[in-house]
């Protein structure tokens, strides 16, 4: 009987450790600290401008894939696109860009804290700003409102109130959604 209780206690302890570890990763946004990579995509012809695509990779890396597609689409439209993690050196210098885009996974209806902090402190001068959230399921009408409500700078009267905001769901046609998002930014 004691052996059964020891096994049950061990299983319970392991489950508690897993829940605490997952909670720490999720709530402390630890994945953002791995986002330090940078890659520059140059167009085949003459560049018509510079775009900065910053992202928080999230736990699954799905936002990284969306960010790569956005940067590739901007490159195809003639922009020199810098794809960089939210904690990279490029994230601290947003000057000399015509377009600045920030992508985040959506957890509990809001972007990650690293993205919210970045957007709250962003000095975009005259650059067009785009924000996308990436999450499960298809986009609903309330998804964009939830992103805007989670970031005061995006709200009416905020410093980024004219930004293009979109949620790109993991079950949606990624190419079509990214194309729509980029077209709104470059028009």
pLDDT for position 1: 72
Q: Quick check: pTM over 0.75?
A: yes
In a domain, 46, yes or no: yes
Q: What is the average pLDDT score of the chain?
A: 86
**H helical segments located in 28-140:** 62-76, 113-121
In a domain, 81, yes or no: yes
Three-class DSSP category at 6: helix
Q: List phi, psi (to 5°) of 22.
A: -65, -40
CATH number for the domain spanning 159: value is 3.40.50.360
**Angstrom distance (rounded) from CA 85 to CA 36:** 5
pLDDT in tens, 84-119: 988 888 888 898 999 999 999 988 888 988 889 899
Name the residue with tokens 């900065």: 52
Domain count, the chain: 1
- Hey, what's the torsion of the CAs at 45, 50, 55, 61, to 10 degrees? 0
In a domain, 73, yes or no: yes
| 73-77, 86-90, 131-135, 175-179: least confidently modelled range | 86-90
pLDDT of residue 29 exceeding 60, the answer is no
Confidence of residue 32 (pLDDT cuts 50, 70, 90): low
In a domain, 20, yes or no: no
Residue-number span of the structural domain to which 55 is assigned: 34-186
In a domain, 18, yes or no: no
Given a contact cutoff of 8 angstroms between Cβ atoms, the answer to whether 137 and 104 are in contact is no
In a domain, 11, yes or no: no
Query: Residues with Cβ < 8 Å from 135, sequence gap 6 or more?
Result: 105, 106, 107, 143, 167, 169, 170
In a domain, 57, yes or no: yes
Name the residue with tokens 């990650």: 112
Q: Left (φ > 0), alpha (ψ -120 to 50) or beta: where does 106 sit?
A: beta
In a domain, 112, yes or no: yes
Given a contact cutoff of 8 angstroms between Cβ atoms, the answer to whether 82 and 111 are in contact is no
Given a contact cutoff of 8 angstroms between Cβ atoms, the answer to whether 48 and 78 are in contact is yes
Confidence of residue 24 (pLDDT cuts 50, 70, 90): low
């Amino acid at each position: 009987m004691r052996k059964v209780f020891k096994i049950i206690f061990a299983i319970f302890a392991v489950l508690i450790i897993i829940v605490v570890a997952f909670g720490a990763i999720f709530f402390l946004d630890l994945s953002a600290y791995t986002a330090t990579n940078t890659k520059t995509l140059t167009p085949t012809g003459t560049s018509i401008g510079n775009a900065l695509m910053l992202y928080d990779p999230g736990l699954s890396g799905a936002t990284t894939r969306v960010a790569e597609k956005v940067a590739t689409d901007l490159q195809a439209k003639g922009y020199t696109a810098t794809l960089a993690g939210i904690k990279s050196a490029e994230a601290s210098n947003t000057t000399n860009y015509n377009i600045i885009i920030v992508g985040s996974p959506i957890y509990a209806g809001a972007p990650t804290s690293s993205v919210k902090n970045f957007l709250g402190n962003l000095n975009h001068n005259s650059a067009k700003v785009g924000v996308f959230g990436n999450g499960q399921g298809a986009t609903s009408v309330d998804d964009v409102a939830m992103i805007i409500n989670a970031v005061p700078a995006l709200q009416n009267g905020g410093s980024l109130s004219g930004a293009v905001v979109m949620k790109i769901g993991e079950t949606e046609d990624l190419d079509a959604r990214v194309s729509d998002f980029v077209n709104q930014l470059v028009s």
